[in-house]
Amino acid sequence: MREFPQILSDATAALGPEYFQVPIAGRQRPIYRERVYCYELYHQLRRRWPERTIYSLAGEIDKKGHPLIRGNRLDDLKPDLLVHDPGDMGGNFAVIEVKPAEASTRGFEKDLRTLGAFLAHGEYKLGILLVYGDESRAPRLAARVGQVLTEHPDQSIELWWHRAAKRCCSTNPFTLIFCCLAKSFLFDPLVSIRHNEVSNGPIRAPN
């Protein structure tokens, strides 16, 4: 689905601040709520979804009991978003996990394991970890993603960074990193992080 990166970019740019951080009565500062962000992201993606495509967008599909993939660590995993052709394993395109930047390291590791399992056992072509919020954690998270990909160089995982509400790719809202790092690649987040200054999708780390 060649147009998907642009669809995702445009959809994230449409998210207002009320979905990015949720105001809470009695609190001075709003807080991040992953579900609120995901629901609005799903809505914005659906608004932009092409009519003539075999792929559909789905949220939190339960793969438990699937006759072709049960028992392959997918039974209890429900990724935030899937892009696929239902009923055709060959049409499994992308699996997406969403996390606020302030989430715990354990939460990020869980999402990376989910992405890896769907790529390895669900025949999905692409995994996306979409992080939104403060990018001060970018180097640390980048190092963790790089470690995972170095351990599993056959997996295609991209890290998308959504820095602020109402920002689009043309104004650089994402830090996009890494895909298919070779085991011999010495990962250095200061070298490998690149900022996307264009509107046509992610910049990949060198192989």
Supply the pLDDT for residue 68. Answer: 54
CA separation for the pair 128, 174 (Å, rounded): 13
Token pair belonging to 122: 């669900």
Answer yes or no: is 200 within a domain. no
For the chain, state the CA radius of gyration.
17
Supply the pLDDT for residue 80. Answer: 94
What's the CATH number where 8 sits? 3.40.1350
Answer yes or no: is 207 within a domain. no
DSSP-derived 3-state class of residue 121: helix
Answer yes or no: is 97 within a domain. yes
Q: What's the structural domain count of the chain?
A: 1
Answer yes or no: is 201 within a domain. no
Token pair belonging to 28: 């001075």
| SS3 sequence of 12-47 | HHCCCHHHHCECCCCCCCCECCHHHHHHHHHHHHHH
Question: What is the number of other CB atoms lying within 10 angstroms of the CB of residue 23?
Answer: 10
CA separation for the pair 92, 127 (Å, rounded): 11
pLDDT in tens, the chain (207 residues): 889 988 999 999 999 888 887 655 445 555 567 888 999 999 999 999 999 999 999 986 655 555 555 565 666 788 999 999 988 888 999 999 998 888 877 888 888 888 888 888 888 999 988 888 876 666 666 666 666 666 666 567 888 888 877 775 332 333 333 333 322 233 333 223 333 322 333 433 333
Place of tokens 């991209």: 158
Answer yes or no: is 205 within a domain. no
CA separation for the pair 41, 125 (Å, rounded): 21
Q: What is the value of pTM for the model shown?
A: 0.73
Supply the pLDDT for residue 102. Answer: 80
DSSP 128-148: EEEEES-GGGHHHHHHHHHHH
Nearest CA to 85 among 52, 63, 56, 60?
56
Beta-carbon contacts of residue 91 (< 8 Å; ≥ 6 apart): 54, 55, 84, 85
Answer yes or no: is 103 within a domain. yes
Supply the pLDDT for residue 38. Answer: 92
CA separation for the pair 61, 122 (Å, rounded): 13
Residue 127 structural domain:
4-195
Supply the pLDDT for residue 182. Answer: 26
